[in-house]
C-alpha cells in the first residue's frame, strides 16, 4: 500500500527527539525522509547501545534513509543546496540562526527553490529575545508551568517521558502537512516556525484557562499530586500489590463506583451528593476508596470496576506494557530487520487510517547507510566521486 505522502521528499536535519519524531511521522505516511547527519554522527550515543547501535536512535528514526554530509564545509553546503532543489521540505530543530550562518536558512533556500517548505521546531521560535537560548523538554516544562502543577505540594516532579519533545514533533509534522496542502493549492512554499514553548503552553490549556479566571493560588495553579482540580474521585489508589487509577467525571459514574464497591449508601451521603461536594471532601472520599482498593489486588480491582463500566487502570511499568495484548492487537510493535542487529521489534505507527494508515517498515539504519543510493539517484554522482567526498570528510 502506498503512503499518502508518497512523492514528497523531506531533508531531515534534525537531531535528538523533537525534530526526528516529526520526520518519522512524515515517513510513516509515505514521505521519503532523508536524514542528513555529519560524518561523525548525531545523537547516536543515546542508550541503550547494542552492537554499537543506539536503540533509541533506531526507534525514533524509523522509515528514513540516512546520508552523511558535513555542512561545516563549503562543498558540503553546495551539495545540500543541490539536494534542496530536488526536495519538498527541509526539517530542522537547530536553534534559530544556526542554518542562516551556514547560508542555508529559509531566505537562502527559497532563492534556490521558491516553493520549498522550511520547517523549524525549536525551543522558543524565531525573532524573540529567547530564540538563541538552549532548550530541552524539561526546561520548557519548567517555563510553561508544568512543574507548578505536577508533583507533590512541596515537591515539583517532571514527567517521566519527554512529552513536550514528542508533542512538539507531532505539531511540526501537522504543520508540515498543512504546508504541503497549501502548496498543492497555490504552488507556494512557506516557513513553519514551531516553538516548544508555544506547544508547552498549549498543552497547559486547562490550567491556563483556570488561572485566567480563578487567579494565582487557585486549584489550577498548584500541585495536587494525583488528584484532579475539578472532579472527584479521580486519583491513584493503593492495592495489595501496587496501584490503580480510578477516574469518574459525573454523578452517574460515581454512583456506579459506589455500587461496584458495595457502598451504595455513599450515593446519598451529603458530603458526596454532587461533584462540587466530592471535590470539597476529597480527602474523606479518597480514604474510603483507598480502604476498599487496599483489600484487593490490582487486577481484582480493575476487573470489578470494569464490570460497572468505570474508567480504571492498573499502574504498569514499561516492561509490563509491551506484553499487554492490546499492543499486539493494535500492531504497536512491528518486526523489522536491521543490518547489524538482525530481526528486531520496534514501535509501530499510531496513525490508523482506513485507506492511508501510517506504516513502519524499516528501523533507523547505521550512519551513512544510504549514501551511495541517495547521492547516485538524486545528484547523479559516481561511486568514485562519492568515495572521494568521503576521503575529504565531506560525507
**CA neighbor of 124 nearest in space, from 116, 112, 132:** 132
Long-range pairs of 135-143 with CB within 8 A, sequence gap ≥ 24 = 135/196, 135/197, 136/162, 137/17, 137/18, 137/162, 137/163, 137/164, 137/165, 137/196, 138/162, 140/164, 140/196, 140/197, 140/200, 141/200, 143/197, 143/200
For residues 66 and 332, give the distance between their C-alpha atoms in angstroms, rounded to a whole number. 24
The pairing of strands 32-37 and 9-12 is parallel
Q: Which of 12, 88, 137, 165 is catalytic?
A: 165
- Residue 359 three-state SS: coil
Q: Does domain 234-238+243-314 have CATH number 3.30.1540.10?
A: yes
Query: What is each CA distance from 112 to 43, 108, 189, 377, in whole angstroms?
Result: 29, 7, 12, 20
Going by their DSSP bridges, the two strands 89-92 and 117-122 should be labelled as parallel
Global pTM value: 0.96
Is 165 tagged catalytic?
Answer: yes
Domain locations in the chain as residue ranges: 9-202+326-391, 234-238+243-314
**CATH class, 9-202+326-391 region:** alpha beta
C-alpha dist (Å) from residue 291 to 51, 246, 271: 49, 14, 18
Phi first, then psi, for residue 43 (nearest 5°) are: 60, 35
In DSSP notation, 277-337 reads: HHHHTHHHHHHHHHHHHTTS-HHHHHHHHHHTT-EEEE---HHHHTT-HHHHHTT-EEEEE
> Hey, what's the cell of 323?
506484553
Q: Give me the torsion for CA of 184, 185, 191, 197, rounded to 10°.
A: -100
Q: How far apart are CA 208 and CA 210, in angstroms?
A: 5
Taking the C-alpha atoms of residue 305 and residue 39, their distance in angstroms, rounded to an integer, is 55
The pLDDT assigned to 333 comes to 98
| Whether the Cβ atoms of residue 172 and residue 121 lie closer than 8 Å to each other | yes
pLDDT attached to residue 1: 62
Q: Which of 71, 93, 83, 57 is nearest to 365 (CA)?
A: 57
User: Which of 347, 320, 317 lies closest to 333 in space, CA to CA?
Assistant: 347
List the pLDDT tens digit at each of the 395 positions of the chain.
Answer: 689 999 999 999 999 999 999 999 999 999 999 999 999 999 999 999 999 999 999 999 999 999 999 999 999 999 999 999 999 999 999 999 999 999 999 999 999 999 999 999 999 999 999 999 999 999 999 999 999 999 999 999 999 999 999 999 999 999 999 999 999 999 999 999 999 999 999 999 999 999 999 999 999 999 999 999 999 999 999 999 999 999 999 999 999 999 999 999 999 999 999 999 999 999 999 999 999 999 999 999 999 999 999 999 999 999 999 999 999 999 999 999 999 999 999 999 999 999 999 999 999 999 999 999 999 999 999 999 999 999 999 99
What's the confidence (pLDDT) of residue 2?
A: 80
Amino acid at each position: 500500500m502506498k503512503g499518502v505522502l508518497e512523492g514528497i521528499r523531506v531533508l531531515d536535519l534534525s537531531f535528538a527527539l523533537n525534530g526526528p519524531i516529526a520526520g518519522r511521522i512524515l515517513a510513516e505516511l509515505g514521505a521519503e525522509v532523508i536524514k542528513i547527519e555529519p560524518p561523525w554522527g548525531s545523537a547516536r550515543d543515546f542508550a541503550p547501545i547494542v552492537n554499537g547501535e543506539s536503540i533509541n536512535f533506531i526507534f525514533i528514526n524509523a522509515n528514513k534513509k540516512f546520508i552523511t554530509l558535513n555542512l561545516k564545509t563549503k562543498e558540503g553546503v553546495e551539495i545540500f543546496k543541490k539536494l534542496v532543489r530536488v526536495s519538498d521540505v527541509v526539517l530542522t530543530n537547530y536553534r534559530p540562526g544556526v542554518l542562516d550562518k551556514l547560508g542555508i536558512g529559509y531566505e537562502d533556500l527559497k532563492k534556490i527553490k521558491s516553493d520549498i517548505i522550511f520547517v523549524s521546531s525549536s525551543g522558543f521560535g524565531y525573532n524573540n529575545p529567547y530564540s538563541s537560548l538552549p532548550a530541552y523538554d524539561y526546561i520548557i516544562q519548567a517555563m510553561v508551568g508544568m512543574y507548578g502543577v505536577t508533583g507533590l505540594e512541596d515537591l515539583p516532579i517532571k514527567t517521566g517521558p519527554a512529552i513536550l519533545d514528542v508533542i512538539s514533533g507531532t505539531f511540526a509534522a501537522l504543520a508540515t502537512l498543512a504546508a504541503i496542502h497549501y502548496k498543492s493549492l497555490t504552488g507556494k512554499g512557506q516557513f513553519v516556525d514551531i516553538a516548544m514553548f508555544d506547544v508547552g503552553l498549549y498543552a497547559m490549556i486547562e490550567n491556563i484557562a483556570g488561572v485566567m479566571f480563578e487567579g494565582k493560588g487557585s486549584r489550577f495553579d498548584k500541585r495536587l499530586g494525583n488528584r484532579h482540580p475539578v472532579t472527584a474521585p479521580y486519583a491513584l489508589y493503593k492495592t495489595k500489590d501496587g496501584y490503580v487509577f480510578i477516574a469518574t467525571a459525573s454523578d452517574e459514574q460515581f454512583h456506579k463506583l459506589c455500587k461496584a464497591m458495595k457502598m451504595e449508601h455513599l450515593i446519598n451521603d451529603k458530603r458526596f451528593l454532587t461533584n462540587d461536594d466530592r471535590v470539597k471532601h476529597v480527602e474523606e472520599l479518597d480514604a474510603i476508596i483507598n480502604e476498599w482498593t487496599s483489600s484487593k489486588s490490582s487486577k481484582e480491582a480493575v476487573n470489578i470496576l470494569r464490570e460497572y463500566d468505570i474508567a480504571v487502570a492498573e499502574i504498569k511499568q514499561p516492561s509490563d506494557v509491551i506484553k499487554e495484548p492490546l499492543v499486539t492487537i493494535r500492531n504497536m510493535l512491528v518486526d523489522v530487520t536491521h543490518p547489524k542487529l538482525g530481526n528486531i521489534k520496534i514501535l509501530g505507527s499510531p496513525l490508523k487510517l482506513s485507506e492511508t494508515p501510517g506504516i513502519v517498515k524499516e528501523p533507523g539504519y547505521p550512519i551513512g547507510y544510504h549514501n551511495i543510493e541517495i547521492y547516485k539517484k538524486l545528484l547523479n554522482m559516481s561511486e568514485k566521486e562519492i568515495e572521494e567526498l568521503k576521503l575529504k570528510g565531506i560525507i
